[in-house]
Amino acid sequence: MANFVNLLLLGIFMSANAASAAAPGCEVGDVDSMRFDCHPEANPNESDCVSRGCCWRAATERNANYTKHSGERLRGIPYCFYPSTFGYKISNVKQDDSGWSADLSLASNGGPYGADVKQLRIVVYFEDEDRLHFKIFDPANSRYEVPIPVPAPPAGKIPQVNYIVKYSEYPFGLQVIRATDHTTIFNSSVGGMIFEDQFLQISSLLPSSNLYGLGEHVAPMLLDLDYQTISLMARDRGTPHSENLNLYGVHPFYLNVEKSGHANGVLFLNSNPMDIALQPTPAITYRSIGGIMDFYVFMGSSPNEVVQQYLEVVGLPYMPPYWSLGFHLCRWGYDNATHTAQVVNDMRKMGIPQDVQWNDIDYMDRHLDFTYDKTRYSSLPDLVDDLHKHGQRYVMITDPGISSTQSAGSYLPFDDGLKMDVFLKNSSNQPIIGRVWPGETAFPDFSHPNAIEYWTKQVKAFHAEVPFDGLWIDMNEVSNFVVGSVQGCPNNSLENPPYKPGLGGDHMSTKTLCMSAKNYNTTQYNMHSLYGYFEAVASMSALKTVLKERSIVISRSTYPNSGAHGGHWLGDNNSNWPDLYLSIPGVLLFNMFGIPLVGADICGFGGSTTPELCTRWMQVGAFYPFSRNHNSIGSPPQEPSHFSPEYADGMRKALLIRYSLLPSLYTLFWQAHAQGATVARPLFFEFPKDPATLSIDKQFLWGAFLLISPVVDADETSVKAYFPADRWYDFYTGAGFDSKGESRTLTAELDAINLHLRGGYVTIKQDAGLTTTASRMNNFSLTVALSATNEAQGVLYLDDGVTLDSYETGQYSYITYQVNNGTLVSANNQHSVYTPTGGKYVQRVLVLGVDSPPKGVMLNKVPLSDSDYHYEASTKVMVVDLSSHNVLINSMYTIAWL
């Protein structure tokens, strides 16, 4: 008997061993980089691995260099990996006009996280010339799908597509190949595809390891593929000191740049908490705990085109009001309205530009939304009135948590919410109660059909008391000071899913509501990461109804399509140099995500800034698309007006440059809104074939024309800047040089930020005032930066800056500039309806890179007098003074020089 038991054990041992070493399909693991992790949880072991139908083998050179990752997960070449025989088999492939569909049947054992959906369906839509869309789902049971608006699949056939789609039969994998250069963009014939109720997994080979996106996280711009796992789930998490931790927003979109310089992109349209594992193969693995597999693949082939194609799916950015491009000032810890007003007055006295004053939660009565403290902030309406009289604006914070403990009849936001049934509910179908600033609160379900009406009512009532100009929506991950709710959470599979994404070791409901809390249609398990998105939709809708003009919603939590409803700030950073640097990749990422109105808290939120740090940060922050200085309670003041002239001068100078460039910046926002362009742009977007640009995230561009090279370290008096091969001009002197693609060391005094104009572009400026209202009264000037072939081009979009849908309703002017052979042509023949009511004339034209002194200059073929122009031989700059000629900015004219 004893022998028999021993034999049996030996038999089991041997068969397990055989499965791991010689099982069919395990030879895929002979190449370390082709191993896809079958046991991402902590502490894998052989028997557990083999019972999953996977292969177990010690990696050839494993782990000496890898450490434990967040949440106790292992990093490195996996011991436990999928055999090449794991997965589904395809059958019944049917072509139709706009793609094909097929059945997928499970043909091996499935995953370890619950029952597998054995019969799946795949539908492949050839949606657009450069966009492929496919879905893999359970045909027998409808499952949650992300409720953001996306284009409907085409009704008929797309005449010509720039891709070829193939598949492998078993195990099933999909390949998407760009037709023009035969690059495989997506290839899921690797790893282990799994489809279970609470676990979806699919892997794909990447064409190159130049990978960007997958936010929101804090990290350098170029992602690290050395066995890194990025978790996505909206979370209120201040200043994580570890990269890749899940943060406020969720953007499962990446952009990839191939060796050729061509780019591609992929969106995984899924909103459940997920892990995204990257490995150096290069390859990507998505592990989501719900929804369906819904993918969009974008062929590019330039980075700009990838973003454009992505935004055609998730929605173009909205058009912000002109004033929102001015400078914003805020802090938590203004004790009263007088204190807030004092800051505004100090800024005016110091002659430092400011458009918008903000308040954090200090203004509220006991932290109740839609109230203000009638003692400390009794003069708030007067402050707002004074701002408006000075052509300035006011924005204050609003949190989603609505106090549930006020006596009935005393607090309408709660009473109305009950009446209109808009709160998220718990398992006994009552409003789920958490705890935030005002104490116990209920949380509006902004996806509820009544939510917009409910929220608009509150916004309108408060606006009647305090006529604010925009909404700052914080804490909308949604943040909660207790885990789940004040009653805790039930114990069920939504609260404790069989696979738990890394989440930095957090529980699912850490700092948020229970996963089983109920939205109108579904649960927080599915909709959690869309909370801030739906709040932004409701907030922007309310502002349109109440203000009847363009406004801003600045949201902490975002999801694809958020950019169509407002902007974002990067959250609670700290006053230190690393955070100053990391703000640049943060800003660049959100431009790729279609939320160009973005910036970090200038000078840092937490901690104490120093005058030097704050000066450098104000200089780079003057070039954030959304430029706001914000500070935490208890930290020393960091308003620009607070500093001595040694520092304040450098801050003022940077802001005045921003204000002078606002016509060009506003035009960039219009290009984002109308065409899906980025505003702040990484260098590789313009120079993707130059490998040196692929990792540059300490410099960035505005559009194609302005290179910004800030100081991001302490005690620097110079900065090393890279110049891709092109003609560049010093912004201050206009002197130019031709770069072959080289780094240069530039002087960087404390009072100035290095800026360069790119040859080939026309920049439109307006003399800076101390508010955008004042700036708009000033006249325009053009700076023509000639290319090496003496050409340049530019565009200008003009409207009144506030009317809703100015572009859509045609109330704008659009001017193009063409320069070649010594002639500038300003043409308004595309559209010229709007004429500025303030500053409207072109005062000056600067031409940079004019090789020899002009013999004459003509305006509309009529020679100008010698006193109307001059030439600076040392810098090769020609200045044409048009001030006595009344040249309207939106008129047709030519300027020629010989």
Give me the residues that bind ligand NAG (CB under 6 A), please.
Answer: 43, 45, 47-48, 61, 64-65, 147, 166, 175, 177, 184, 187, 189-190, 205, 218, 237-240, 247, 335-336, 338-339, 426-428, 430-433, 447, 487, 491, 521, 570-573, 579, 582-583, 586, 600, 821-822
Nearer to ligand NAG, 52 or 876 (CB): 52
From residue 286, alpha-carbon distances to 175, 295, 403, 453, 584 in Å are 16, 11, 38, 37, 27
Token readout for 827 is: 């043409």
Where do the DSSP E strands lie in 561-655?
567-569, 598-599, 627-629
Q: Which of 416, 474, 535, 639 does the annotation list as catalytic?
A: 474
The Cα–Cα gap between 507 and 482 comes to 12
Closest to ligand NAG by CB, 243 or 690: 243
How far apart CA 509 and CA 302 sit, in angstroms, is: 40
Unique residue bearing structure tokens 């083999």? 50
In the complex, the smallest distance separating the C-beta of residue 69 from ligand NAG, rounded to whole angstroms, is 16
* Of 307 and 600, CB closest to ligand NAG: 600
For the record, the structure tokens of 631 come out as 């500070």
The answer to whether 868 is a known catalytic residue is: no
Residue 581 C-beta: closest distance to ligand NAG, Å: 8
Per the listing, tokens 């560049």 go with 728
CB 769 within 8 Å of CB 659? yes
DSSP annotation string for 260-317: TS-EEEEEE---S-EEEEEETTTEEEEEESSS-EEEEEE--SSHHHHHHHHHHHH-PP
Smallest gap from residue 432 Cβ to ligand NAG (A): 6
Query: Which residue out of 128, 477, 535, 697 is catalytically annotated?
Result: 477
Q: How far apart are CA 267 and CA 274, in angstroms?
A: 14
Residue with smaller CB distance to ligand NAG, 135 or 673: 135
CB of 469 vs ligand NAG, minimal distance in Å? 23
In the chain, % helix, strand, coil (3-state, to 5) comes to: 25, 30, 50
Q: Which is nearer to ligand NAG, 572 or 799 (CB)?
A: 572
The CA–CA distances, whole Å, from 419 to 423, 446, 884 equal 10, 15, 65
- Distance between CA atoms of 543 and 93, rounded to whole angstroms? 49
Instruction: Identify any residues that bridge with 89 across adjacent strands, giving them in sequence order.
Output: 105
E strand spans, 360-479: 393-398, 402-403, 434-436, 439-442, 470-473
Supply the minimum distance, in Å, between the C-beta of residue 293 and ligand NAG. Answer: 18
CA distance 82 to 194: 11
In the bound state with ligand NAG, the residue whose beta carbon lies nearer, of 251 and 550, is: 251
Q: Which two tokens stand for residue 496?
A: 């404790």
Provide the 10 A C-beta neighbour count for residue 554. 25
The CA distance from 475 to 123, in Å, is 38
In angstroms, what is the minimal distance from the CB of 880 to ligand NAG? 16
Residue 453: active-site member: no
DSSP code for 602: B
What does the H/E/C string look like for 96-135?
ECCEEEEEEEECCCCCCCCCECCEEEEEEEEEECCEEEEE
Q: What span, in angstroms and rounded, lies between the C-alpha atoms of 112 and 49? A: 10
Q: Which is nearer to ligand NAG, 339 or 642 (CB)?
A: 339
* Distance separating alpha carbons of residues 154 and 133, to the nearest angstrom: 11
Nearest position to ligand NAG, beta carbon: 573
Minimum CB distance to ligand NAG smaller for 654 or for 774:
654
Task: Name 679's Cβ contacts closer than 8 Å, sequence gap at least 6.
Answer: 591, 596, 625, 665, 668, 669, 672, 702, 703
Residue linked to tokens 């430029």: 627
What is the closest distance, in whole angstroms, from the C-beta atom of residue 47 to ligand NAG in the complex?
5
Looking up tokens 């990290």, which residue turns up? 219
Shortest separation between residue 428's beta carbon and ligand NAG, angstroms = 4
If the CB atoms of residues 339 and 460 are measured against ligand NAG, the closer one turns out to be 339
Min CB(485)–ligand NAG separation in Å: 6
How is residue 860 written in tokens? 């509309």
CB of 812 to ligand NAG, least distance (A): 31
Structure tokens at 187: 């290839």
Q: What region, left, alpha or beta, does residue 227 occupy, with left being phi > 0 and alpha being psi -120 to 50 degrees?
A: left
The least CB distance from residue 54 to ligand NAG, in Å, is 13
What's the closest the beta carbon of residue 41 comes to ligand NAG, in angstroms?
Answer: 7
Q: How far, rounded to the nearest angstrom, does the alpha carbon of residue 184 sit from its chain's CA centroid?
A: 27
H or E element, residue 544:
helix 531-547
Please, which residue, 51 or 809, has the CB nearer to ligand NAG?
51
Rounded Cα gap, residues 764 and 767, in angstroms? 10
Which CB atom, from 184 or from 545, has the smaller least distance to ligand NAG? 184
Nearer to ligand NAG, 33 or 830 (CB): 33
The catalytic site residues sit at 474, 477
